[in-house]
Copies of this chain bind each other. A is one copy, B any other.
Amino acid sequence: MDLDLMRELSVETDSKIILLILDGLGGLPMEAGGKTELEAANSPNLDAMAAESDLGMSRPVAAGVSPGSGPGHLGLFGYDPLEYIVGRGVLSALGVGFELGENDLAARINFATLDGDGKISDRRAGRISSEKGEELVALLNEKVSLGGAEFFVTHEKEYRAVVVFRGEGFSGSLSDTDPQRVGLEPLSVTPADDSNASQKRSASVANEFINKANEVLADEHPANTVLLRGFGMHPTLPSFDEAYKLNAVAIAGYPMYKGLARLAGMELKKEGEGISGEIETLKSSWDSHDFFFVHMKPTDAAGEDGDFDRKKEVIEEVDALLPEILSLEPDVLAITGDHGTPAKMKSHSWHGVPFMLRSEYTLPTGDKFGERACIAGSLGTFPAEEIMGLLMGHAMKLNRYGA
């Protein structure tokens, strides 16, 4: 999406847009001749909506490339995921719900095992339990202190954690310390550019943290050291307000998606539990916002588990709640995913993702919401980054370009 064009053309209006993301929505037949999860679902409400909608296939990132959640959502929000890079450390921080500030430097931590010769003998510290991981994180936060910066370690899961350094003038252009193989010494954090003062200072703070962590963890074999990787700063994205003049709210349950939405300057809201809780939140926010990013995770989780039937059932659950969403009478309602997670693959995929957009100004081509109906739809196959433009156009929130 050309964000400068959006900035130039967008206008504030009363119209309201809902972007409903069923994470990992796209699917595949389990065997030749079969249906996809979405095609197999009994979804009369989605199908009725399709009969009033533009359909198409939204393609994330690049041909053949399966996106992670970060690039997948940046694309949906209209940011080029190859231009706006969100480092692993930042995503981890977002994922654990850490309120990352603009000057914060984040890195992913793996607890690991150092042998008597100072070499890494296990890059995951024997996959210590989450309880043990939490205990070690508390120890680091309590016992380590740095000369030049504040820091916060937050536990993720098992041997994984995230550290955020807070101070002035940091840079994320730093090397990883994980040697990637056992039998080697951990690497020092080094600046990408030796002559860059903020990189040098950042590296020095990170190395100080590692050295002090090693002292604190000395007796904690097998988790007696930390490996740091994926250094990165909070990326600066043009906000939804700035780019689209939208007063956007994100209704999402998982920290990662809340974090990504916050990067785009969206307000965060979530009341109640599960999918129906999200619908409740949508209703309660209806009068105060004009853009609603609603994120539903269970489709992706079922796909990752390879559970075709559960993914189908989640879609049916959403289908049953659709009338409640439609009763809000959004000017534009689009339903799609950030990528496919076909149960057949048990992973994110590169395939096109079914996309459906309902507004007063559509050219319907069928009465089914499914991959093959979307392939034959009025929008064809198009880059996911174009979705925001479509939403804005259908909501009559874009001025004509040129006279």
Binding site for B on A (CB under 8 A): 1-2, 5, 9, 28-29, 32-33, 36, 51-52, 57, 61-72, 81-82, 85-86, 88, 91-92, 230, 342, 344-345, 347-352, 360-365, 371-372, 375-382, 386-394, 398, 400-403
Contact = CB atoms under 8 A, between A and B. Distances in A.
B5 A401 contact: no
A55 to B, nearest CB: 10
Contacts of A393: 63-66, 350
Given A81-B402, A380-B380, 19 more contacts: A1-B63, A2-B62, A5-B62, A5-B82, A63-B386, A64-B391, A64-B393, A64-B394, A65-B393, A66-B400, A66-B401, A67-B401, A69-B402, A86-B402, A88-B403, A91-B402, A352-B378, A375-B377, A381-B382
A67 B400 contact: yes
Contacts of A92: 403
17 contacts: A1-B62, A5-B65, A28-B363, A57-B378, A61-B401, A63-B386, A64-B391, A65-B401, A66-B400, A68-B400, A70-B403, A342-B361, A344-B360, A347-B400, A351-B363, A363-B371, A375-B376
Nearest to A376: B376
Contacts of A398: 64-66, 350
Total copies of the chain: 2
Nearest to A57: B380
Contacts of A394: 64
Contact of A375 (B82, B351, B378): B378
Nearest to A379: B381
Given A351-B363, A375-B380, A68 B390 contact: no
Contacts of A381: 379-382
Given A380-B381, A382-B381, A389 B65 contact: yes
The 6 closest A-B pairs by CB, nearest first: A64-B393, A63-B389, A64-B389, A63-B386, A380-B381, A68-B402
Contacts of A81: 401-402
